[in-house]
Amino acid sequence: MSKTSEEHSLLVLENYIGGKFVSCRSYIDSYDPSTGEVYCKVPHSGKEEVDAAVAAAKEAFPEWSARSPEQRAKILHKLADLIEANLEEFAQAESKDQGKTITAARTVDIPRAAYNFRFFSTSMLHHTTDCSPMDHMGCLNYTVRCPVGVAGLISPWNLPLYLLTWKIAPAIAAGNTVVAKPSEMTSVTAWMLCKLIQQAGVPPGVVNIVFGSGPRAGDALVSHPEVPLISFTGSTATAQRITERSAPYCKKLSLELGGKNPAIIFADADLDQCIETTVRSSFLNQGEICLCTSRIYVERSIYSEFLERFVAAAKKWKTGVPSDPSSKNGALISKEHLEKVRSYIALAKSEGGIIHCGEGLDQLDLPEHNKSGYFMPTTVITGISDSSRVMQEEIFGPVTCISPFDTEDEAVARGNGVRYGLSATVWSKDVGKVHRVAQRLQAGLVWTNCWLVKSITIKH
Ligand code: NDP
């Protein structure tokens, strides 16, 4: 059957197995979130492709794991150099594929991907080992860290190259070989990375990338008997499924999951800094970051002032075409996701919540070509009960809820009142209070008077 001219112009990705680009029997459509148009075909891989990738990774393991950390680090630094040399091309692709702003892709996703290779290859050179004396005979127990074998890596769509390289870099720096499956919705920069992996001299089979859907390619990887280690970032629901599927093999699992992160703002906080940062922490990357703030608890004496100033600042957080450098937010990842996020706004309204700005109130000024894109304005909600699904479930969009509190104990209890515990922020000039509250919050990471302070961060 001859192809239409539209099909000819589509980007068609290939799997990367054993150092070679390999086509697939069937393909999945991938959409440009800013237009709603199909622009790319992604391999719809299954067991056959995953088996081939695991075989290649297994074959490459003995030689790669026998190299010294320094030999591996040299190659990974070269890979980082190549990413940096191609930064603009990667940023354009990431923005088109994911809907994020070009600014975010340029300043966070791609620089961080290069940094991941530098960071882990360097850190591997400085590892020390734990050692403990036994209580008799002068003997010592010590730990030797060894590569495990073939690591299965599954990454989500919100920070595509950043999170994929956050998995590939430590795994191969430590001497493992890998089979990675990026999200089917954001595969382009992973495919571009494969070309650089070849150029950097990573031996065939050390990194294999198999594209496709979670239930098909992802499941084949998770349930593969010769993949002893799975590193997954994504939703809690998928993590439960992966845990079940890998349980018969007692695999080592690393699961990085969602959040419903609170910001606790006391009356003595520096409001200028706090409002600017909390708008960013609520809406950056369209709110599609696991660490984004989605519940803001404000001490009652400053609640009215905070709300007024926060809403005014949220309205200025421009949602627009991703390629426009003045856009702070781009498009959400998919039509389905946009509908899901909107459904929470409808739920909030049905429960008596007040929408202060955003969905249903503010019109977006988009060019004709982008009218079918998956855009949503930044939305602020108040008047919702903590038990509402809006306050309990991860929405993963440009939506945040604000509520007043009266006491420190109340703020801590409400901050802890969800099943998630990924991150939190605390705002106060009282140093004793920030340390006390941070310790009482059941979150893996608590920022005080700041948010997302990391080695490479974005401020725009
Ligand atoms: P999903 O859980 O839907 O998907 C994550 C990955 O798992 C994708 O590659 C997906 O493939 C794959 N997958 C889906 N089903 C299966 C399956 N049955 N077996 C194996 N793999 C499967 O998450 P999202 O992509 O929607 O990502 C958003 C989530 O990720 C949010 O909850 C967010 O909080 C979380 N996240 C957590 C981070 C952290 O560090 N804690 C960082 C970033 C995001 P496909 O998409 O192709 O179907």
* φ/ψ of residue 450, rounded to 5: -170, 175
- Does 371 have pLDDT greater than 60? yes
Q: Which helix (H) or strand (E) holds 459?
A: none
For ligand 1, atom 28, name the residue with the nearest CA: 234
Answer yes or no: is pLDDT of 400 > 80. yes
Give the pLDDT score at 458.
Answer: 47
Is the beta carbon of 43 within 6 A of some atom in ligand 1?
no
Give the per-residue pLDDT at 360.
87
**Main-chain dihedrals φ then ψ at residue 230, nearest 5 degrees:** -120, 130
Give the per-residue pLDDT at 2. 44
H-helix segments, 328-385: 335-350
Residues 6 or more apart whose Cβ sits within 8 Å of residue 85:
none
Alpha helix locations (H) across 67-149? Answer: 69-85, 87-98, 102-104, 110-125
Residue 396 CA, ligand 1 centroid: distance in Å: 12
Query: 171 near 153, Cβ under 8 Å?
Result: yes
CA distance 441 to 372: 41
* C-alpha 26 – ligand 1 centre gap (Å): 22
**Whether the Cβ atoms of residue 277 and residue 292 lie closer than 8 Å to each other:** no
Asked if the model's pLDDT at residue 332 lies above 80, the reply is: yes
| For residue 113, pLDDT beyond 50 | yes
Computed from CA positions of residues 454, 260, 93, 238, in that sequence, does the dihedral angle turn out positive or negative?
positive
Measured from the CB, is residue 393 less than 6 Å from ligand 1?
Answer: no
- At position 305, the amino acid (one-letter code) is E
Q: Which of 40, 108, 183 to mutate to test the pocket of ligand 1 (most atoms within 8 A of CB)?
A: 183
Helix (H) or strand (E) holding 46: none
Q: Check if 222 has its Cβ closer than 6 Å to any atom of ligand 1.
A: yes
pLDDT at 6: 52
- Distance from the CA of 233 to the center of ligand 1, in angstroms? 6
Whole-angstrom distance, CA of residue 402 vs CA of residue 15: 45
Residue range 4-31: mean pLDDT, rounded: 89
Which residue's alpha carbon is nearest to atom 22 within ligand 1? 214
Integer Cα distance of 393 and 242 in angstroms: 20
| Spatial distance between the Cα atoms of 70 and 399, rounded to a whole number of angstroms | 45
Q: What is the pLDDT of residue 4?
A: 53
Q: Which of 255, 314, 265, 260 is nearest to 291 (CA)?
A: 260
Residue 222 has pLDDT above 80, yes or no: yes
Q: Is 14 in the pocket of ligand 1 (CB under 6 A)?
A: no
> How many angstroms does the Cα of residue 155 sit away from the middle of ligand 1?
6
What is the average per-residue pLDDT within 275-282? 98
Amino acid at 232: F
| Position in ligand 1 atom list of the atom nearest CA 422 | 41
Written as one letter, the residue type at 321 is: V
CA atoms within 13 A on the CB side of 73: 12
Give residue 409's pLDDT: 98
pLDDT for 456 equals 53
Percent of the chain at pLDDT > 70 equals 97
Binding site membership of 257 for ligand 1 (Cβ less than 6 Å)? yes
Average pLDDT over residues 285-295: 98
Separation CA 102–CA 108 (nearest Å): 10
Q: Best of 235, 254, 256 to mutate for ligand 1, by most ligand atoms within 8 A of CB? A: 235
pLDDT higher than 70, residue 1: no
In this predicted model, what pLDDT tens digit does every residue of 211-221 receive, in sequence order? 999 999 999 99
Predicted confidence at residue 313, as pLDDT, reads 98
Q: Is the CB of 290 under 6 A from ligand 1?
A: yes
Q: Domains in the chain, ordered, with CATH?
A: 5-256 (3.40.605.10), 261-448 (3.40.309.10)
Q: For residue 175, with 0-12 CB atoms within 10 Å meaning exposed, 13-18 middle and 19 or more buried, which class applies? A: buried
| CA–CA dist 5, 349 (Å, integer) | 46
Mean pLDDT of the region 59-85: 98
Catalytic site positions:
256
Residue showing tokens 């809403």: 311
Q: pLDDT at position 283, please?
A: 98
Are the beta carbons of 246 and 223 closer than 8 angstroms? yes
Burial bucket for residue 201 (CB in 10 Å: 0-12, 13-18, 19+): exposed
**More confident site: 139 or 404:** 404
Handedness of CA 212, 87, 74, 204 (dihedral sign): positive
Greatest Cα-to-Cα distance within the chain, rounded to the nearest angstrom: 80
Q: Which of 249, 165, 198 is nearest to 78 (CA)?
A: 198
Looking at residue 451, what is its pLDDT?
97
Nearest to 382 by CA among 298, 278, 456, 445: 298
Would you tell me how many other CB atoms lie within 10 Å of the CB of residue 449? 17
Quote the pTM value.
0.95
Output the pLDDT for position 136: 73
Mean pLDDT, the chain, as a whole number?
A: 95
Check if the beta carbon of residue 416 is closer than 8 Å to that of residue 373. no
Query: What pLDDT does 130 receive?
Result: 86
Mean pLDDT of 148-158: 98
